[in-house]
Amino acid sequence: MRLYRLTVATIFQRKAWVICALAVMLLPFALPLISSATEKPLLVQPARILAAWNTLWSCTLLWGFFTAARQGEDNAKSGIGEYFLTTGVSATRQLFEIWLAVFCFIAPLTLVTAAICQWAASPADPAERALWWVLNLQYTCLFLLVIAQLLALAVALASRFGSIVGFSVSLALALYGLWGVGYLENMLKLEENPILRGLWLYSPQYRFADLTQRLYFKSGALPAAAFWTMALYFVGILGVYAGISRLCFRTQRSS
């Protein structure tokens, strides 16, 4: 795991993760205080939920994907990938170790966000509070499943086409899956189109992993069957993206 340790050390040394960590820990408490939520105490906790998860999504989509793309490009461009290849570390393992290094920075931020929602924004009603941890756990699992596949794609595309492509494509896919498919569905409700219908059916439905509104409105945990169906769906996409990422990943840039 030498490449993993090297990647972790590189990301740690650049210190950008500190800004994300401070944002995730402080903004959920600071933003509600400067918003209209202070006029009604009942709105402070919902505002904290929105601030917590929206901050995490923003940090992950911007810093997380950028970091993954940069590490993928540096591994191929600097000769590190070629060096590790000569020492017996295969391209598949290099992709995994770079992905794991970036993921190990995202996962703690996710756990911190879930912890803030669990202990600083939990409902006052005992019945709602009893299932609150289940919903937080479900959100954490779905979030990590979505981000894991896109991080791998960012690393792989950047190693072949450069960090700008790796970052842009992964970010575009995330934004499309979170919000674009919803707009596409609304268009189909107004006017049916077989081409758009096919595009919608094969689009990654990342919006199902965003349970922020469910937390905000205290709608309760997802039914077990629905949660496992969604989890298996994202695991399937993860498998597809893992295959695509392996095909795209290069340990050295073409001359």
User: Hey, which bits of 61-192 come out as E strands?
Assistant: none
Contacts of 192 (CB under 8 A, 6+ apart): none
- Rounded mean pLDDT of 97-114? 98
- Each domain of the chain, given as residue ranges in start order, spans 2-248
Q: Is the pTM higher than 0.85?
A: yes
Nearest Cα residue to 54 out of 72, 32, 38, 69? 32
Nearest Cα residue to 61 out of 136, 214, 140, 168? 168
Decide if 151 contacts 103 (C-beta within 8 A). Answer: yes
Decide if 18 contacts 24 (C-beta within 8 A). Answer: no
Q: Is 19 exposed, middle or buried (0-12, 13-18, 19+ CB in 10 A)?
A: exposed
Q: Is the pLDDT of residue 101 over 70?
A: yes
Dist. CA 153–CA 248, nearest whole Å: 8
Contacts of 250 (CB under 8 A, 6+ apart): 76, 81, 91, 159, 160
Q: Is 90 exposed, middle or buried (0-12, 13-18, 19+ CB in 10 A)?
A: exposed
Q: Is 52 exposed, middle or buried (0-12, 13-18, 19+ CB in 10 A)?
A: buried
Percentage of the chain modeled with pLDDT above 70: 99
Q: Is 76 exposed, middle or buried (0-12, 13-18, 19+ CB in 10 A)?
A: buried
Decide if 143 contacts 209 (C-beta within 8 A). Answer: yes
Q: Is the pLDDT of residue 138 over 90?
A: yes
86: its two tokens: 């000569």
Neighbours of 229 (CB within 10 A): 12
Q: Is the pLDDT of residue 98 over 70?
A: yes
Dist. CA 33–CA 70, nearest whole Å: 36
pLDDT band of residue 125 (cuts 50, 70, 90) is confident
- Rounded mean pLDDT of 194-214? 94
The overall average pLDDT reported for the chain is: 94
Q: Bigger pLDDT: 33 or 236?
A: 236
Sign of the Cα pseudo-torsion (237, 207, 44, 23, in order):
positive
Dist. CA 5–CA 21, nearest whole Å: 20
